[in-house]
Amino acid sequence: MIVLGGLVSLGPLTTDLYMPAIPALTRDLGSTAEAVQLTLTASLVGLALGQLLFGPLSDRLGRRRPLLVGLLVYTLATVVCALAGSVPVLVTARALQGVAGAAGLVIGRAIARDRYEGVAMIRFLASMGLISGLAPILAPVLGAQLLRFTSWRGTFAVLAGLGALLAAGALLVLRESLPPERRHAQGLGSTFRAIGGLLRDARFLGYVLTSTFGFGALFAYVGGSSVVLQTVYAISPQTYSLLFAVNSIAVVGFTQLNGRVLVQRFSSGALLLAGLTAAALAGAALILCTAVWDVGLAGVWPALFLLMASMGVILPNSSGQALTMAPHAAGSASALIGTGTFLCGAVVAPLSSAGARPSVLVLGAVVLGCAVLALASFLLLCRPSDDRDPADA
C-alpha cells in the first residue's frame, strides 16, 4: 500500500515540489517567467503521454519490468534537472522526467485492478488516495521549507532520491500482478488495438471523460486559486496556505468516507451523480457570490470546500468504474484515464486565472464548465439508469 501510494504520488510531487523555487530558478538561469513555465508544461505533457507508453507496455510485458525501467529513467532525468545549466536543458529533462514518472501513476492503478474487483477495488483506491492525496498538500510546503536549506537544485535532488527509493521499494516489495497467461502476447500492435476497442465502448469512454473533466475542475482550483484569492481578497500567503490545506483535507476525508462507508450503502452511479451535482453547484456558487451577491471570501471559501469535497467522491468512483470495465487491459485503461487527466490539467489550469486581472468569476466559470461537461459525459454515455453496475460485478 505504501509503495503503490508513493508511485501514484510521484506525479503531484514532480509538478508541485519545485513550485516555490520558480522565482529563484528564473533568476539563477537568467531567464523569463514565461520560459520557465515551460518546465511545468513539459512535465504535465510528459506525464500525460508517458502513460500511453507504459500502460500498454505493462499489458504486454507485465507490471514490474516497465515500472522498474520507468523509475530508473525518472531518477536519472531528475539528476539532469538538478544539474541543468539552462532552461532548454531543464525543459527537456522535465519532459523526460514526466514520461518516465508516468510509469508509477499508470502501473500503480493497473496493479490495483489486477488484484481487486468492484467495491473492493474502489476501497483500495481510496486507501491509496489517502497517501497520494497528501502529496499536493505537502509538496508546496515541503518545497518552501527545502529552500531554507538548499537551492532549487536541491528540490530536484530530493525528487531523485524519492525515485531511487521507490525503485528499491518496487524491486523488493512488489510482486508481479499480471501472470503471463493474462498478458497480450500478440505484440504491442494488439495492445494498442485494445486501446481503440476501449475508446469505442461508450460506457467506458463516459467514465474516462467524467474523470477527466472532474480532474479539470480540480486543476482549475489548483492552478487559479492562489493568484485569484491573494489578488482579489488580498490575503497573505500564509492565510492562503491554510485555506488550501483545509480544502485539501476535504478531498482526503471524503475519499476515505467514500471508500469505507458510502460505497457499502449506495451504488457508484448514485455517488457519482451526487458528487458531480455538488461540483456544479460549487461552480455556480462561485459565480453567484461574485456577480450577484458579492459576499466576499465568506461565500467563496465554502464553495471551494464543497468543490474539493465532491472530488473525494467523483474521482475514485469514476476511475474505479472505468478500470472495472477493462479487466483484459487494465494498463491501457489506466493510461487513458491518466492521459486525459493531465492533458486536461495542462489546458485548464492557465484558464482559471486568465484575463487582464484575476477574477473569481473566471475561476467559477471554468469550474462550472468542467463540472457540467463531466455530468453530461456521465448522464449521456454511462447510462446511470441501467440496473447493471460494473462495481457490483
Residue type, 393: A
Q: pLDDT-based confidence at 385, cuts 50/70/90?
A: low
Whether the per-residue pLDDT at 4 is higher than 60: the answer is: yes
Q: pLDDT-based confidence at 391, cuts 50/70/90?
A: very low
pLDDT tens digits, 64-81? 999 999 999 999 999 999
Whether the per-residue pLDDT at 187 is higher than 60: the answer is: no
Q: Quick check: helix, strand or coil at residue 330?
A: helix
pLDDT of residue 251: 85
Residue 347 to residues 222, 232, 272, 350, 356: CA-CA distances in angstroms?
13, 23, 24, 7, 18
pLDDT tens digits, 328-375? 777 778 778 878 887 887 788 677 766 667 788 988 999 999 999 999
Q: Which three cell numbers stand for residue 372?
A: 457540467
pLDDT of residue 93: 95
Q: How far apart are CA 227 and CA 238, in angstroms?
A: 13
Determine phi and psi for 87, rounding to 5 degrees. -65, -45
Q: How far apart are CA 359 and CA 365, in angstroms?
A: 10
pLDDT of residue 55: 81
Whether the per-residue pLDDT at 327 is higher than 80: the answer is: no
Residue 5 to residues 22, 113, 203, 312: CA-CA distances in angstroms?
27, 14, 28, 16
Task: Give me the sign of the Cα torsion angle 99, 101, 107, 108.
Answer: negative
pLDDT of residue 186: 57
Q: Which three cell numbers stand for residue 343?
A: 492533458
Helix axes 297-324, 360-381, angle to 10 degrees: 30
Determine phi and psi for 93, rounding to 5 degrees. -65, -35
Number of H helices, E strands in the chain: 16, 0
pLDDT tens digits, 135-155? 766 776 777 778 888 888 999
Q: How far apart are CA 342 and CA 41, in angstroms?
A: 10
Q: How far apart are CA 390 and CA 267, in angstroms?
A: 10
Q: What is the pTM of this model?
A: 0.73
Q: Which three cell numbers stand for residue 30?
A: 537568467
Determine phi and psi for 387, rounding to 5 degrees. -70, -30
Q: Which residue has the higher pLDDT, 23 or 220?
A: 220
Residue type, 15: T
Q: How far apart are CA 106 and CA 60, in angstroms?
A: 14
Q: Quick check: helix, strand or coil at residue 265?
A: helix
When mean pLDDT is compared across 95-104, 193-202, 273-282, 306-315, the lowest value belongs to 193-202
Q: pLDDT-based confidence at 99, cuts 50/70/90?
A: very high
Q: Which three cell numbers stand for residue 109?
A: 492503478
Q: How far apart are CA 393 and CA 388, in angstroms?
A: 8
Q: Give me the chain's average pLDDT, please.
A: 83
Q: Which residue has the higher pLDDT, 184 or 268?
A: 268
Percent of the chain clearing pLDDT 70 (strictly above): 86
Whether the per-residue pLDDT at 106 is higher than 80: the answer is: yes
pLDDT of residue 393: 43
Q: Which three cell numbers stand for residue 181?
A: 497467461
Instruction: Give the dihedral of Cα atoms 308, 302, 278, 125; nearest 10 deg.
Output: 20
Q: Quick check: helix, strand or coil at residue 337?
A: helix
When mean pLDDT is compared across 20-24, 212-216, 251-255, 263-267, the lowest value belongs to 20-24
pLDDT of residue 390: 44
Closest Cα partner for 188 from 342, 323, 331, 7? 331
Q: How far apart are CA 315 and CA 256, in angstroms?
A: 12
pLDDT of residue 66: 92
CB 353 within 8 A of CB 227: yes
* pLDDT, mean of residues 260-283: 92
Q: Which three cell numbers stand for residue 127?
A: 486507501
Q: pLDDT-based confidence at 207, cuts 50/70/90?
A: very high
* pLDDT, mean of residues 313-318: 90
Q: pLDDT-based confidence at 49, cuts 50/70/90?
A: confident
Radius of gyration of the chain (CA): 20
Highest mean pLDDT among 119-123, 206-210, 337-341: 206-210
pLDDT of residue 192: 66
